[in-house]
Chains A and B, each alone.
Chain A
Amino acid sequence: MVTVEFAPALRRHVDCAPQLVASGALREVLEAALCAAPALATYVFDDQRAVRRHVAVFVNRQLVPDRATLSQPVADGDRVFVVQALSGG
């Protein structure tokens, strides 16, 4: 199983506890985790279901540069972190 965790900056808008989901492509993993809080999906993804420009997804400690296809495989035991990038003022 894969652990998917959303940063407090996201959870203050729509709460979602860490999720345990089946391994697979990163998109499948994220979509499965967001089933627990569907309203959170529009915070993570834009209208085209790409990861928003100011949201960052890490698999373990590696930032995922691909925002659109999210085809990277995620294995059992991996941890996915969805956090906010730093911006604004």
Chain B
Amino acid sequence: MQTLLVATRKGLFVWQDAGTGWAITAHHFPGEPVTAVLADARDGGWTAALRLGHFGVKLHRSTDRGAHWQEIAAPAFPPKPADGPDADDPTPWSVDLVWSLAAGGPDEPGTLWAGCLPAGLFKSGDAGASWSLNTALWNQPGRRAWFGGGYDHAGIHSIVVDPRDARHLTLAVSCGGVWQTHDGGATWTLTADGMTADYLPEGSTDDGNTQDPHALVQCAAHPDVLWVQHHCGIYRSTDGGLRWNAIAAPAPSGFGFAVACDPHDPQRAWFVPAQADVCRIPVDGRLVVNRTDDGGASFRTFSSGLPQTHAYHLVYRHGLVVSGDGRTLAMASTTGGLWLSTDAGEHWQLLSNDLPPVAALRFT
């Protein structure tokens, strides 16, 4: 039975297909904003990140697929120093949002990573019982030059753990470029060469440290192949992010937030175009999905099953996911639409038009 976790502004929905069609089988945390969710393939545990309007960020964990939840520790910054180089840091040292959750490697039971806004990376070695800030990334000098995109401060929304070596992590920061560690977070390297930010002043557009990758994903079977939906277009790397190759903007637009890539085929990825950064709606009110099967050389645009008149859905960076079969995809929008495809994005089935704004999806 397939299960899809849908994290929304008003709770976490569990959709399941037991062979008779997709349906909601549970609604957890009703009314509460759920900003990220992780289904951990190592132990089956689910972790949900809540952003309570009044009371801050909370994490809850279930070891029985949602039958019971327990509040666990949430990532939190250490006390901000009253003197020294961080005393005048204008970034609040308080977690506002857990934007991404990732499981460590199979050889790291209990290791979890949380990317937050402000842009702290936190690690837990005990399945979320405690968290610690990765100070190597937080203290690297370039961090003070990061800035917010849609939010007031920079944040970490993409964390990929290399399936070959769990000490190798790749992060994407809006707006702070792409960062990698090969030693489990002890040291970090900026790897945004090739990216261009047309929102920066002339002469600074290739500054890797202030690029705005909206989302970054990795091909599981070919981990050196990475895809980025950037604020200013689409990028692909075939050398583990050392060099990013700009992909010509496909029709109807190269702007968007979401990207999903085939777990097996390094040439295939999906995108959900929006008109432009200054107009974040589907082009001409038609919701479509773009797919490339040749590494970005060309794209096919699919609309079957998607609304084609006066549709104003925006799909956020975690709102498009592909399952391990490479053919089942789910997509959800900020206006509460949820669609499913079982043929690699060529046709879509509407599951709901009435969900709260959707932040993130996960197959499990």
What is A's interface to B at a CB cutoff of 8 Å? 9-10, 13, 39, 42-44, 46-50, 52, 54-55, 84-85, 87-88
In the complex, are the beta carbons of B71 and A55 less than 8 A apart? no
B residues 69-100 in Cβ contact with A at 8 Å: 71, 74, 76-80, 93-95
Given A39-B71, A42-B74, A47 and B93 contact (CB-CB distance below 8 Å): yes
Alpha-carbon distance between A10 and B95 when the two chains are bound, in angstroms: 19
Q: Is the interface of A mostly helix, strand, loop or mixed?
A: loop
Closest to A55 in B: B54
Could you jot down 27 A-B contacts, CB within 8 Å? A9-B54, A13-B55, A39-B71, A42-B56, A42-B74, A43-B54, A43-B56, A44-B55, A46-B56, A47-B76, A47-B78, A48-B77, A48-B79, A48-B93, A48-B94, A49-B79, A50-B94, A52-B55, A52-B56, A54-B53, A54-B54, A54-B55, A55-B54, A84-B55, A85-B54, A87-B53, A87-B54
Residues from chain A with a CB closer than 8 A to the CB of B93 are: 47-48
In the complex, are the beta carbons of A10 and B55 less than 8 A apart? yes
In the complex, are the beta carbons of B94 and A46 less than 8 A apart? yes
What is B's interface to A at a CB cutoff of 8 Å? 52-56, 58, 71, 74, 76-80, 93-95
Residues from chain A with a CB closer than 8 A to the CB of B54 are: 9, 43, 52, 54-55, 84-85, 87-88
Closest to A49 in B: B79
Alpha-carbon distance between A82 and B52 when the two chains are bound, in angstroms: 16
Closest to B76 in A: A47
Alpha-carbon distance between A48 and B56 when the two chains are bound, in angstroms: 12
In the complex, are the beta carbons of B94 and A55 less than 8 A apart? no
Alpha-carbon distance between A39 and B60 when the two chains are bound, in angstroms: 13
Residues from chain A with a CB closer than 8 A to the CB of B71 are: 39
B294 to chain A, nearest CB (A): 45
Most chain B C-beta atoms within 10 Å of own C-beta, residue among A44, A48, A49, A54: A48
Alpha-carbon distance between A42 and B77 when the two chains are bound, in angstroms: 12
In the complex, are the beta carbons of B55 and A47 less than 8 A apart? no
Closest to A85 in B: B54
Residues from chain A with a CB closer than 8 A to the CB of B53 are: 54, 87-88
B120 to chain A, nearest CB (A): 9
